[in-house]
C-alpha cells in the first residue's frame, strides 16, 4: 500500500507512475544518458517493477540534435550542455578545456559525435584482470550484441561478431567523398593493416567508421531506449535537479531533488542507481557523504562511507587536428555558406538524406604506436573538411583533417567539490600531459599523420599543411603546438572505479554496487577502471545493459569466447 494525497491505494506500477504525482518507485535512476536510458528500458521491460528516471535537461526535439551533421551545435549550447570546463591545465599553457556533458533527454548521447566504437577486447580483459571480475571481453561481448542492430550495408565485416536485433541502430556513412577512400588507401600504402569492421574481430587498421545514425537521424540512447520505454505504464521521467542521495542506516532510500523552486524527496523502494555522467556521478556521491573522509570533512559533509576513490582516476582522450589544404574543391567547405547550409538543412528536413544525414566521420583507423605494443593505442577520425569542433572552418578554405590522439594516457585527474552547495559545479582537474610518455606518444601521432598524408593516395588532393604548418618539425616545436592546440575528445571516465571490494580505491564492486552502502549502484562511464580504446558511448550503453541484469538478480548472459585478431608482427613492427 502507498499513500497518495492522503488516500491509501493498492500499489501498482500504473498507480505509482501516472503523471508523476507520486514520487516513489522500485528503482530510481539519476540520469537519462547512455547507461541510464538503457537501464530504464531493461528494468521496466517485464512490467514487474516501477522505474523513475530523474533528468535535469529538457527535450531533444529539433534539428540541432536530430540532424547528424549539426553535431557541433548542441555541445556548444547552454540549453543542451552542462557547460563544465576544467581548471587551468598546467601542462597545456594553463588553458581551461571545455568539458561538455549532455543536459537533455538522452544525456551525452544526444550531443556527441555519434561515433560507435565498442573498444578493443583487451580493454575489457584488463578490466577483469584489475578487479572487475566478470567484465572481460568474453563477458561483455554478449551485451554489445544484445544492444546492437547492426547494418553492414554490404560493406564487409563478419555478422557473427555483431548483434542484429537490439534497440541501438549502428550504420555506416555512404563514403561518397573520394577523400574517405584516399585516407584508407594511404594507410595501406604506408604498410598498415586494413579492417572491414573495427567493432568485430579485427580492430587494428584503416577502414569505415560506424555511427549511431538511423534513417538520417541521430540514434541516441533517448531514441533507441528511453522513448520506447516511456510508453510503458511502469516507467516515468521527472524533470528535476538531483541534489544528493538520501541514505538512512547505511541504505539508500531515495534522492533529494529540486523542481519548481521546491526541494522534495523521490523514494526508491528497492534501489537508487546513479547514471549521471563521470562528472556529476562523483559529485552526487560526495554530496551524499560517500568519498574521501578528509575531503568531506572540509565541506562539513557527514561521512557515510569513506571511499578514497570517489572522484579520482579521472581519464580522458586528448587529440589534435592535423589539417591539410585540398587542391580540389571537393571538400565539405563548398557547403560552408548560408546557401549551402540552408540547402543541406532543407534536404535533411524533408527527406532525411544528403550531407545532413551523416556525422561526416566515415573513415577511421586504429593503430599501434610502436613495436611491442600489443593492440592499438592510437585512434584516427578522418573528416573531409578543415573545421573545429565549435564549427569554425579553417580560413584556408578547402581542406581535410585527421583527429588523432593516444588512447591510453598514464595521466590521471580528479573531480572534487568546490563547496557543499549542490548548485555549484564541481572542480575538474584532468592533469593532462603530466607524463613524459604523453608527449612522446603525441609526437609519434603527429609524425605518423604526416607520413599518411604524404602517401601517393593523397597526391591528387594534397595542398600545403594548414595546421600545424610545415615549419613545426622539432620535438620542441611539436610540443609547443600540442600545448596550444590539444583538445579533449570529450571522453571523461573512471571517477567511481569498479574493482574488488578489497581494493581501497574501488568505488563499486563488479555488480556496480557502491561499496559500503546498501541499495545504491553506479552504472555509467564513471565505473570504467581504465579508459577504453575509442569513443565511450558504446561501452557506456553496454554498462547500462549489463548492470540491468545484475540489478534484476539475473544470471549474466553466457560468455562468448571469441578470439580477437592480434597482429602477428606486433613484437617487431608497428604495422
The 3-state secondary structure of 498-559 reads: ECCCCCCCCCECCCCEECCCECEEECCHHHCCCCCCCCCHHHHHHHHHHHHHHHCCCCCCCC
- For the stretch 32-89, pLDDT in tens is 999 999 999 999 999 999 999 999 999 999 999 999 999 989 988 999 999 999 999 9
Q: Band of the pLDDT at 395, cuts 50, 70, 90?
A: low
Mean pLDDT, rounded, for 137-162: 92
Active site (catalytic) residues: 491
Segment holding 378, helix H or strand E: strand 378-383
On whether 33 is known to bind a ligand per the annotation, the reply is yes
The answer to whether 69 is a known ligand-binding residue is no
- Model pLDDT, residue 15: 35
- Cβ distance 478 to 441 under 8 Å? no
| 48 carries a ligand binding annotation | yes
pLDDT at position 341: 86
49 is in an annotated binding site: yes
pLDDT, tens digit, 9 for 90 and up, residues 483-537? 999 999 999 999 999 999 999 999 999 999 999 999 999 999 999 999 999 999 9
Q: Which residue has the cell 561526416?
A: 360
Tell me if 226 is assigned to a ligand binding site: no
Map residue 263 onto helix, strand or coil.
Answer: strand
Domain boundaries, the chain: 174-208+318-406+433-485
* Residue 140 counted as an annotated binding residue: no
pTM: 0.95
Pairing of strands 210-211, 168-172: antiparallel
Q: Is 32 marked as a binding-site residue?
A: yes
pLDDT reported for residue 337: 81
User: Cα(284)–Cα(266) distance, rounded to whole angstroms?
Assistant: 15
Question: How confident is the model over 229-243, as a mean pLDDT?
Answer: 98
pLDDT at 385 over 50: yes
Q: Write out the three cell numbers for 19.
A: 503523471
Q: Please tell me the least confidently modeled range out of 321-335, 365-379, 440-454.
A: 321-335
374 is in an annotated binding site: no
pLDDT over threshold 70, residue 181 = yes
Q: Which residues contact 371 (CB under 8 A, 6 or more apart)?
A: 570, 571, 572, 573, 574
Considering the four listed CATH numbers 3.20.20.30, 3.30.410.40, 3.40.109.10, 1.20.1250.20, the one that applies to the domain covering 174-208+318-406+433-485 is 3.30.410.40
Annotated binding residue at 37?
yes
H-helix or E-strand spanning residue 281: helix 277-287
Question: Annotated binding residue at 108?
Answer: no
42 is in an annotated binding site: yes
Assess whether pLDDT exceeds 50 at residue 198: yes
Span 124-152, average pLDDT? 97
> Model confidence at 8, in pLDDT bands (50, 70, 90)?
very low
- pLDDT above 70 for 558: yes
The predicted structure's pLDDT at residue 156: 77
Name the burial class of residue 474, with classes exposed (0-12), middle (13-18) and buried (19+) by CB atoms within 10 angstroms of its CB.
Answer: exposed
Tell me what pLDDT residue 389 has: 64
Q: Which residue(s) pair with 314 in the sheet?
A: 413
Asked if the model's pLDDT at residue 7 lies above 50, the reply is no
Whether residue 46 is annotated as binding a ligand: the answer is yes
- Kindly state the DSSP code that residue 381 receives in the 8-state scheme: E
318 annotated as ligand-binding: no
Q: Report CA 525 to chain centroid distance, whole Å.
A: 7
Look at residue 227 in the predicted model and tell me its pLDDT.
98
Alpha helices in 163-268 (DSSP H): 178-189, 221, 227-229
Cα 26 to chain centroid, rounded: 28
217 is in an annotated binding site: no
Question: Binning pLDDT at 50, 70 and 90, where does residue 388 land?
Answer: confident
Amino acid at each position: 500500500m502507498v499513500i497518495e494525497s492522503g488516500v491509501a491505494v493498492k500499489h501498482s506500477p500504473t498507480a505509482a507512475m501516472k503523471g508523476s504525482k507520486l514520487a516513489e518507485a522500485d528503482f530510481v535512476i539519476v540520469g537519462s544518458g547512455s547507461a541510464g536510458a538503457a537501464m530504464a528500458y531493461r528494468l521496466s521491460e517485464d512490467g514487474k517493477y516501477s522505474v523513475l528516471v530523474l533528468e535535469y535537461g529538457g527535450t531533444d526535439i529539433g534539428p540541432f540534435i536530430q540532424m547528424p551533421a549539426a553535431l557541433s551545435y548542441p555541445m556548444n549550447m547552454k540549453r543542451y550542455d552542462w557547460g563544465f570546463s576544467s581548471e587551468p591545465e598546467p601542462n597545456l599553457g594553463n588553458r581551461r578545456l571545455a568539458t561538455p556533458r549532455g543536459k537533455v533527454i538522452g544525456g551525452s548521447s544526444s550531443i556527441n559525435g555519434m561515433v560507435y566504437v565498442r573498444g578493443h577486447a583487451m580493454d575489457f580483459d584488463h578490466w577483469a584482470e584489475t578487479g572487475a571480475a566478470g567484465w572481460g571481453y568474453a563477458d561483455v561481448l554478449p551485451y554489445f550484441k544484445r544492444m546492437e542492430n547492426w547494418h553492414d550495408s554490404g560493406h564487409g565485416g563478419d555478422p557473427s561478431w555483431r548483434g542484429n536485433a537490439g534497440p541501438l541502430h549502428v550504420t555506416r556513412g555512404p563514403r561518397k567523398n573520394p577523400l574517405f577512400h584516399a585516407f584508407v588507401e594511404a594507410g595501406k600504402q604506408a604498410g598498415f593493416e586494413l579492417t572491414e569492421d573495427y567493432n568485430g574481430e579485427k580492430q587494428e587498421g584503416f577502414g569505415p567508421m560506424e555511427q549511431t545514425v538511423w534513417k538520417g537521424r541521430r540514434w541516441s540512447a533517448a531514441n533507441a531506449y528511453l522513448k520506447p520505454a516511456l510508453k510503458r505504464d511502469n516507467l516515468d521521467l521527472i524533470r528535476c535537479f538531483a541534489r544528493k542521495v538520501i541514505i538512512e542506516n547505511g541504505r539508500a532510500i531515495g534522492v533529494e531533488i529540486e523542481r519548481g523552486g521546491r526541494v522534495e524527496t523521490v523514494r526508491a523502494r528497492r534501489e537508487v542507481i546513479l547514471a549521471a555522467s563521470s562528472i556529476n556521478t562523483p559529485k552526487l556521491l560526495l554530496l551524499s557523504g560517500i568519498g574521501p573522509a578528509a575531503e568531506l570533512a572540509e565541506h562539513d559533509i557527514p561521512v557515510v562511507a569513506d571511499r578514497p576513490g570517489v572522484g579520482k582516476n579521472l581519464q580522458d582522450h586528448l587529440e589534435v587536428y592535423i589539417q591539410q589544404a585540398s587542391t580540389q574543391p571537393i571538400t565539405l567547405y563548398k557547403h560552408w555558406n548560408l546557401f549551402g547550409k540552408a540547402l543541406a538543412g532543407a534536404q535533411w528536413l524533408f527527406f532525411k538524406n544528403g550531407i545532413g544525414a551523416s556525422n561526416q566521420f566515415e573513415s577511421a583507423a586504429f593503430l599501434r604506436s610502436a613495436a611491442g605494443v600489443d593492440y592499438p593505442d592510437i585512434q584516427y577520425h578522418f573528416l573531409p573538411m578543415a573545421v573545429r569542433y565549435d564549427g569554425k572552418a579553417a580560413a584556408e578554405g578547402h581542406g581535410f583533417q585527421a583527429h588523432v590522439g593516444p588512447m591510453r594516457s598514464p595521466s590521471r585527474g580528479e573531480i572534487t567539490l568546490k563547496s557543499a552547495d549542490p548548485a555549484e559545479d564541481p572542480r575538474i582537474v584532468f592533469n593532462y600531459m603530466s607524463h613524459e610518455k604523453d608527449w612522446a606518444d603525441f609526437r609519434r601521432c603527429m609524425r605518423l599523420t604526416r607520413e599518411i598524408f604524404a602517401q601517393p593516395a593523397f597526391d591528387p588532393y594534397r595542398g600545403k599543411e594548414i595546421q600545424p604548418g610545415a615549419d613545426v618539425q622539432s620535438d620542441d616545436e611539436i610540443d609547443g603546438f600540442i600545448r596550444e592546440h590539444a583538445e579533449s575528445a570529450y571522453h571523461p571516465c573512471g571517477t567511481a572505479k569498479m574493482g574488488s571490494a578489497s581494493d581501497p580505491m574501488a568505488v563499486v564492486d563488479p555488480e556496480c554496487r557502491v561499496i559500503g552502502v546498501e541499495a545504491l549502484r553506479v552504472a555509467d562511464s564513471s565505473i570504467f577502471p581504465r579508459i577504453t580504446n575509442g569513443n565511450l558511448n558504446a561501452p557506456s550503453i553496454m554498462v547500462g545493459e549489463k548492470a540491468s541484469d545484475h540489478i534484476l538478480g539475473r544470471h549474466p548472459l553466457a560468455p562468448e569466447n571469441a578470439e580477437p585478431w592480434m597482429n602477428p608482427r606486433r613484437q617487431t613492427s608497428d604495422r
